Structure 1
Amino acid sequence: LKRFNTVTPVFVKIDGWKAGDTLIQTDLANTLKRIRDKGAPGFYEGETAKLIVEEMKRGGGIISYDDLKNYKAKTRTPHIFTYKGYKIVGMPMPSSGGLLLHQMMKMIEKRNIGSMGFQSEQSVQLMTEVERRAFADRGEYMGDADFYKVPVKELTSEKYLDDRMKDYSPDKAGMSQDVKAGHASYYESEETTHLSVVDKEGNAVAVTTTLNNSYGSRTVVGDAGFFLNDEMDDFSIKPGVPNMYGAIGGEANAIMPGKRMLSSMTPTIVLKDDKPFLVIGTPGGTTIPTSVFQTLVNIIEFGMNTEDAVYKPKFHHQWLPDTLEIEKGFPQPVSEALKKKGYAIKERGAIGRTEVIRVLPGGKFEGVADRRGDDDAEGY
């Protein structure tokens, strides 16, 4: 942080923070006051915008005052699909999360995965292969729908998803070099935050937000007190070349002025009988959709309680690199059996930090904060 800033940010303490220390972020407080008093113009115009532009000039950036003033948030229709009687409400493009979750859930729907057993060789292999195929489509077809016609209807049609699984064999590992994006008619960072909220009236909110990499660009806007993100890495800077987290993208996610980058954020609300049943999401970069996918399958198909559904070891495949990543504690007999079938297995640290609220019969709430992170569940 010292390297990328002309002054040491207030939250950086050279001799380290100790219990009982007080951190006062006056610059950030003033930034938040301007947003409180003026709404969006309190950030994208006026004093805060001027401070951002000053930082751009200092660091050789290209964002101008007019760029900030002309920025507008987009309201888009949620991505909604059904799974065995549940209505699943997810995030639309330019996040790939809702569409990936749709594809993965539908590719297992006809295969009676519940009878295979939790983290059996059969269920893990099936889920790995649907993850592989969904991420292959992500690299080819997904991006900002304002700039590229994302063939959502085709990518989620029953025929298309059935065709995607035609070459699936439970006897051997798939190979990503052989699993390309399907024919449709037409490692991003893990430094992300998610919160799930339900109130007594039954209103539910799932929110995921991110800086992208750890500490974003590592640059703090002087006198404004916040980090600039490094979300440009979520674009396909060079189509076909992986980003810092191994994710591959194509022309659909190429850089263009005014375009929004593809992400993996998957804030999700699951409705049962048209009422909130689950509110779920997680940080984790490209592991976000697979973490949400596995947590939903754990609850809906394997009948798990919420804590087990969140805490049990997870796994992840994103097409490229062609590696099945597993968490510490993943059952060794299963990983050994999958190795024999040809899977390249790699043990890694935490996969996701999933936050779930479950609405129980009678209207009580059960909140689970993932112990993989410094997370918390509260009711008041």
Structure 2
Amino acid sequence: MARFTRTSSVALSLALLASPFAAAQTAPVRAQHAMVTSIHHDATDAGVEILREGGNAVDAAVAVGFALAVVYPAAGNIGGGGFMLIRPGTKTFAHGQPHFLDYREKAPSAASTDMYLDAQGNVIPKMSTVGSKASGVPGTVAGLTYAEKQYGRLGLAKVMQPAIRLARDGYVLTDEEARILHSSLLGQFPASYRIFQRNGRFYEAGERFQQPELARTLQRIATDPDDFYRGKLAAEIAAFEQANKGLITAQDLAAYEVKERTPLVGHYHGYEVLTSPPPSSGGIVLLETLNILSGYDLPKLGPDRSPAQIHIITEAFRRAYMDRGDYLGDPDFNTIPLAQMADPQYAAAWRKTIDPTKPSPSATLVRPTGFMPEPPKQEAPTHESPQTTHFSVVDADGNAVSSTYTLNFGFGSGVTVDGLGFLLNDEMDDFASKMGVPNGFGLIQGPANAIAPGKRPLSSMTPTIVSEAPSYTYHKLLGRTTSSVVHPGKLRLVLGSPGGSTIITTVANDLISVLDNGLDIQAAADAPRFHHQYLPDVLQFEKKFPLDTIDALKASGYITKREAEFDEKSAGQWGDSELIAVDPKTGELMGGHDNRHHFGKAAGY
């Protein structure tokens, strides 16, 4: 257990306010053996089907990933990329070690640092987010097929059958799903307009949406996954790109490879936190945040999402996101000070800079000396899309998968590969197009995340798994060697969310709500969210946060903003937590599906 001191001196006006969150009306879904949670009920059913047929957690996760490419085209994909964290529940599974698969998109070989700038050096609007030049080389097919080959049990042809069936036979749209397909982006590109919007005869609730072109593509992948990168499929993708002035070539596809990276591990109040390494910024920022918070007894400050807790958590976010912007990028192109960022003494030094009653303005924040190297020179800020998706799986042997993947913005670049039926990503916007200019999400990013051929853009995706005790042997982790542990610790939580720059704060709040504040997994998924990312220096809230909580924090000195406050048509919310917990008393699995969307579910057996 990490050693921590307890700090309870917080302004009375903050501490006395009750939690702004009333417990969710729905209870977690419970199952004895296995559980799947995702944003779409058909994708969840695909995973459960595979588990019932003898598949393990990886088999089910691959089935869910391909199914989401059919039923959730806004973010589910075969034209994007992402991460998969695998935590074995038994020593016999995958040699008893955890695995982190990086199947993030890569910049094409024709990419350059200034490719989105005009002759005057200004960023060309939408060039990195819309159209053919916005796409990185997709990694999803490589990632999912690699996972199945290395760690699955049933084989690719079997686990892809639910996705192929859904594409061929179709699925019934809810009203919410039909409205999502009305995206104006899709109307800008002929194949997208034809497939998703029937050339202007928009789909309505209750209609069956069939995708025969995608079904044929999925069947080709199931028969020969290498076809997507080195065969006829690759040639068709490259020819489409060339015809539409895109950058991805057959050589780019052939050069793509999945990276197995060492997961990061940290400890928080006696729990082991297994999480994502770079090019995800999420894991190290999460661990740095939790290290800072380990010096506080949060429940003693007030209830879940009370102003007193929000203040301390926000100040931890502020400091960790400052380091994110200065240091993080693709580890294959940069030396990243992970050990220093995860150092408990560094967290303790940061903690000394936190005022217990008022915010530390970001412009005045000074990093503690003696821990971190000098950051690379930069002129300032950049952003990242919230339209991603996450799914979690636990099988009957306790093996767990936490996976987040994306097209970046909703429906990616908007471009569908004609004849193949899948959308391409706009992941190039996750690079820093120009130092000092915000990208799609307003995040600060430095030279470490500049565009370069073959480089993977920085991400906030944070697939995370929590256990009750240290579990694994790592040859090298955060610059240190750890000792061997014979048996895995008891699984406690499987977490993750979409949300762009808000992903890390969403995962942190879900974890804190369950482990510190005692919320059940469904209540944690449904609780209102808050976010701070260093710059802009604004404490952001979902629209449903009670005004008295926001007012209390504003009175203490924060600049506050409610999401979509003046947009009556917007729910003013972000993220989609798809969570699984293990009941520490009964050992039952508990699934929490985020009710911000109404077509997903948690299910198991």
| Residue 119, structure 1, aligned to residue 305, structure 2 | yes
CA distance in 1, matches of 2:357, 2:300: 18
**Which residue identity lines up with residue 419 of structure 2 in the other structure?**
D
- Structure-1 separation of matches of 2:513 and 2:519: 6
Is 1:22 aligned to residue 245 of structure 2? no
Counterpart selection for 1:91 from 271, 276, 281: 276
Any idea what SS the aligned residue of 2:391 has?
Answer: strand
| Matched letter for residue 582 of structure 2 | V
Contact 1:241 1:249 in 2 (8 A): no
What are the superposed Cα offsets for residues 286-309 of structure 1, whole Å, 9 maximum, x if unpaired? 110100101111111111122222
Q: Output the amino acid matched with 1:339.
A: K
Matched, 1:351 2:541: no
User: CA offsets, 1:302-354, max 9 Å, x none?
Assistant: 11122222211110011111111111232322211211122111111113111
Query: Would you say 1:161 and 2:384 are equivalent positions?
Result: no
Query: What's the CA shift for 1:181?
Result: 5.7
The corresponding residue for 1:46 is 231
* Structure 1 SS opposite 2:401: strand
The equivalent of 2:433 in structure 1 is 237
Letter in structure 1 aligned against 2:557: G
Which deviates more, 202-211 or 367-376?
367-376
CA positional deviation for 1:20: 3.9
Cα shift readout 1:51-109 (whole Å, capped 9, x = no counterpart): 22122112211211111111111110111111111111111100011101101111010
Counterparts in 2 of 1:251 and 1:28: CA distance versus 1, 3 Å: same
Aligned to 1:372: 596
Q: Bigger CA drift: 56-65 or 164-173? A: 164-173
Q: Offset of 1:6 from its aligned partner?
A: 5.7
TM-superposed CA distance for 1:241, in Å, is 2.1
CA RMSD of aligned residues (A): 1.6
1:144-293 map, 5 Å? 144-179=330-365, 184-185=372-373, 187-273=383-469, 274-293=489-508
Say if 2:547 is the partner of 1:335.
no
Question: How far did residue 234 of structure 1 move?
Answer: 0.6
1:102-145 Cα distance to aligned partner (Å, 9 max, x none) = 01111010111121122222211011111111111111101111
CA distance in 2, matches of 1:224, 1:149: 39
Q: Distance in 1 between matches of 2:269 and 2:510?
A: 16
Question: How many residues end up aligned between the 2 structures?
Answer: 379
Matched, 1:309 2:524: yes
Task: Specify which of 584, 587, 598 is matched with residue 363 of structure 1.
Answer: 587
Name the counterpart of 1:135. Answer: 321
Q: Comparing 3-12 with 289-298, which one deviates more in the overlay?
A: 3-12
8 Å Cα contact 1:139-1:250 kept in structure 2: yes
**CA positional deviation for 1:163:** 2.1
Structure 2: state its 5+ residue gaps: 1-185, 375-382, 470-488, 564-571
Whether the 8 Å CA contact 1:83–1:109 is kept in 2: the answer is yes
**Deviation, structure 1 residue 21:** 2.5
Deviation string for 1:142-168 (max 9, x for gaps)? 111111011000111122222223321
- Deviation, 1:240, is 3.0
Query: What SS does structure 1 have at the residue aligned with 2:197?
Result: coil
Paired AA for residue 185 in structure 1: P
Distance between the aligned counterparts of 2:243 and 2:368, measured in 1?
46
Separation (CA, whole Å) in 2 of partners of 1:106 and 1:87: 12
Cα 1:149–1:33 change in 2 (3 A) is same
- Unmatched tracts of structure 1, length 5 or more: none
| Larger RCO of the pair (alpha carbons < 8 Å, separation 6+) | 2
- 2:244 corresponds to which of 59, 71, 80: 59
Q: Give TM-score, length-normalised by structure 2.
A: 0.61
Contact (CA 8 Å) 1:193, 1:283: kept in 2 or not? yes
Q: Give the corresponding residue for 2:50.
A: none
Give the TM-score of the pair, scaled to structure 1.
Answer: 0.96
Task: Tell me the distance in 2 between the aligned counterparts of 1:267 and 1:362.
Answer: 25
1-side partners of 2:300 and 2:347: how far apart? Answer: 21
CA distance change for structure 1 residues 42 and 85 in 2, over 3 Å: closer, same or farther?
same
Residue aligned with 1:293, SS? helix
**8 A Cα contact 1:31 1:43, kept in partner:** no
Tell me the equivalent position of 1:295.
510
| Identity between Structure 1 and Structure 2 (%) | 41
Distance 2:264 2:332 in 1: 16
Q: Quickly say closer, same or farther: Cα 1:6–1:24, change in 2 above 3 A.
A: closer
Partners of 1:254 and 1:19 lie apart in 2 by 43
Shift in Å, 1:47 = 2.4
